[in-house]
Amino acid sequence: MTHRIYAASVLLILHFVLSSAQIQQAPGSPQIPAIFAFGDSLIDSGNNNYLASAAKSDYWPYGCDFSHGPTGRFSNGKTIVDLLGEKVGIPDLPAFADPATVGPIILQGVNYASAGAGILDETGRHWGDRISLSQQVINFESTLDGLKSIIGASNISHYLARSVAIMSFGSNDYINNYLMPSVYDSSYKYRPPEFANILLDRYTYQLLDSDIPSVCIRTNFKLGLRKFFIVGVGPVGCIPNQRAGGQAPPGRCADSVNQILGPYNEGLRSLVAQLNANHPAAIFVYANAYGFLGDILNNPAYFGFTVLDRACCGLGPVTCLPNTMPCGERNQYVFWDAYHPTEAVNSILAHRAFTGPPSDCYPINFQQLALI
């Protein structure tokens, strides 16, 4: 009951906040000062380019539809972070690991995401180097030092209070950990609900109560960052990598894999409700990635897609093979490579995240989060 009262109160306040913001918003001006993106290959903008990792996408055909070509994005074009940034007037975020990401370029945000990264530090180790959630949080701390030197320590609290943190973790903890029993022992040690609880406990630890500087402790309560857009895990059992692994019958998703994800996604949504109830100075949003992509897969013709079970650029040993010719009708493919959606899908996901109802984004959507 408390959670429902809280959500209703938030939406009532938003009615007035949004009306005022829409009137006062100058045409073309950013709706928020910055976006800080934490996550994995779904939103990596090039951090793995600078790592000793097998999980890289800094070569063609990656970026074949992106204005800057191959940048390290695991897509033919833009990621959901790029597209959400466009909607609020924020340019493409620079990768933290890029030596050029210093000075004024960091003022509108930084991308810390890393392909292969997970909530757990050990996730993705078979790919080589990657920047886990815990290390991404530490990297954010160094960005704060740079921001203070530019805008001044006295201004940092107000700046961060209006900025948004996007967090997209969990997929690799399943794909590149729990579902790889030949490499990791997690599936032998834990049943799916137990593993989900481990992930959620670790996520909460990083958000709220760690011994190392954490996103919330250092920025929400001490410095002022209070807007968090937390993305759930999509239907992993439907990606080409899992369909080809013998888990799924022809033309079907691996239902057994998707069922494993339920406790995590349900737990993450409950965690968001709990965080909102316990920390009224902040706002946490759960994005239902499973529902977003599930709707596309269940009704592809409505969204304009014809190919659901194959990758547009083919199946390489890790991702796309260098310099291979991708499919011609990329807007009709759901998946770009064995793991990641096409830009066409990302555009739909971004639209749902930006304008969706509480069944898509709980308790509010990205647009409302930006303007509150």
Distance between the two ends of the chain, CA-based, in angstroms? 23
User: Two tokens at 21?
Assistant: 């913001």
Alpha helix (H) residue ranges in 25-106: 80-87
158 flagged as catalytic: no
Instruction: Evaluate whether 114 touches 136 at the Cβ level (below 8 Å).
Output: yes
Query: Which own/partner contact pairs does 210-218 have at CB distance under 8 Å and 24+ positions apart?
Result: 210/134, 210/137, 212/134, 212/137, 212/138, 213/137, 213/138, 213/141, 214/137, 215/38, 215/137, 215/140, 215/165, 216/279, 216/282, 218/141, 218/144
How many degrees, rounded to 5, is the angle at CA 170 between CA 168 and CA 176?
Answer: 125
The angle formed by the CA atoms of residues 363, 368 and 372, to the nearest 5 degrees, is: 105
Active-site annotation holds for 337? yes
Strands 164-168 and 307-311: unpaired
| Token pair for 360 | 């898509």
| 278 Cβ neighbours under 8 A, 6+ residues apart | none
Between the alpha carbon of residue 113 and those of residues 10, 25, 43, 155, the distances in Å are 30, 30, 6, 26
- From the candidates 44, 65, 337, 360, give the one annotated as an active-site residue: 337
Quote the CA–CA distance of 246 and 179 in Å, as a whole number.
12
Among residues 40, 41, 82, 114, the one annotated as catalytic is 41
Question: Which of the following is catalytic: 163, 186, 340, 360?
Answer: 340
Examine the residue annotation and report whether 41 is marked as an active-site residue of this protein: yes
With beta carbons less than 8 A apart as the criterion, state whether 238 and 292 touch: no
Q: Note the helical H segments in the chain.
A: 2-24, 80-87, 133-151, 156-162, 171-173, 186-189, 192-208, 215, 240-242, 255-278, 289-298, 300-303, 343-355, 366-371
Peptide bond into 33 cis (omega under 30): no
Tokens 């903890």, residue? 173
Positions marked active-site? 41, 337, 340
